[in-house]
Amino acid sequence: MKDFLRNTWKHRAHVVMALPVFLVLLFIMYVPMTGLVLAFKKYDFNLGMYKSPFCGLDNFKFIIASKDIFQRMTKNTILYYLVFTAIGTFLNVVLAIAIDQFFFKRLSKTMQTIMILPVFISYAAVQFIVFAFISSDTGIINHVLGTRIRFYSDAKLWPYILTTVKIWKDTGYGSVLYMSVLAGIDSELYEAADIDGANKWKKIKHITIPSLIPMVTVMLLLSVGNVMRSDTGLFYQVTRNNGSLYSTTQVIDSYVLNSILSNANFGYTAAASFFQSVIGLALMLFANWAVRKIEPDNALF
């Protein structure tokens, strides 16, 4: 202990330098963690969070009783996660290989710059772009097809719309990581394969794809921790928070945001948040454990 204190005193300059981040995390991240107790309380605006009376598991019972809403948003959250992760990973890898194989490197760099661009446009702006495509009166899609589909009131179309928007926004950026892996493949491997008479498909199958697998595994496992979280902007802004679309577009995060903005249902929302945080923690621990088994270097902790 004395050793430890002496060591800390010796490094007092480092303690001072670490202090600002320590404080920011304390007040912005750690203090709000205590707010999870709200899940077990009956929230009273006048009393505030800490002084509101405990109500045991009432909020959770309420969630289970109103299972339609809760089931719906949990189901949407998980399904969108699965679809986005499966399609996203596949397209990221395909795009990375395609760019890597392309003959004109300069041109592919320019194309890549354009492909990454959408990730930097905020969802508040993206929703205007989506509107230009799918508005029922002025939208491009209805004009090209000569139809008058009312996208903003037809919930069953939205899984496709949101998936398309997500692909458009994130694929270019997502492939960058895999491209850097491909750039690191020793070109002697390809030359050796040439000598052995391998054609291009064989080289992709036996050299390119196997070299990507470790990174794909790690990225997939790390994303497992985010099953319960969603891209709030996509589900809140792009759908224009349209109530008639909730059956296919409401996720836990957008539900929570809605209840904050309308100042309602705090008890219920707190229980949903608690559920979200705890499942998130469990999955994250599991994911890290799994990464550690496969690629110890890539584990987070």
Specify whether the CB–CB gap between 39 and 271 falls below 8 A.
yes
Stretch that binds another protein, among 57-65, 80-88, 93-101, 153-161 (CB under 8 A): 93-101
Nearer to another protein, 28 or 65 (CB): 28
Complex with another protein: residue 105 or 156, whichever CB lies closer = 105
Total residues in contact with another protein, by rule CB under 8 A: 111
User: For another protein, which is the closer residue by CB, 4 or 54?
Assistant: 4
Residues of this chain, 201-240, that bind another protein according to CB under 8 A: 215, 218-219, 225, 232-233, 237, 240
Footprint (CB under 8 A) of another protein, residues 101-120: 101-108, 111, 113-118, 120
Annotate each residue in 145-184 with x if it binds another protein (CB under 8 A) or - if it does not, as one string: -----------------------x---x---xx-xxxxxx
Residue 88 in contact with another protein, rule: CB under 8 A: no
Minimum Å distance from CB 65 to another protein?
20
Q: Binding to another protein by residue 63, rule CB under 8 A?
A: no
Could you tell me which stretch among 62-70, 73-81, 82-90, 123-131 binds another protein (CB under 8 A)? 123-131
| Beta carbon nearer to another protein, 6 or 67 | 6
Q: Does 280 engage in binding with another protein (CB under 8 A)?
A: yes
Residue 8 C-beta: closest distance to another protein, Å: 5
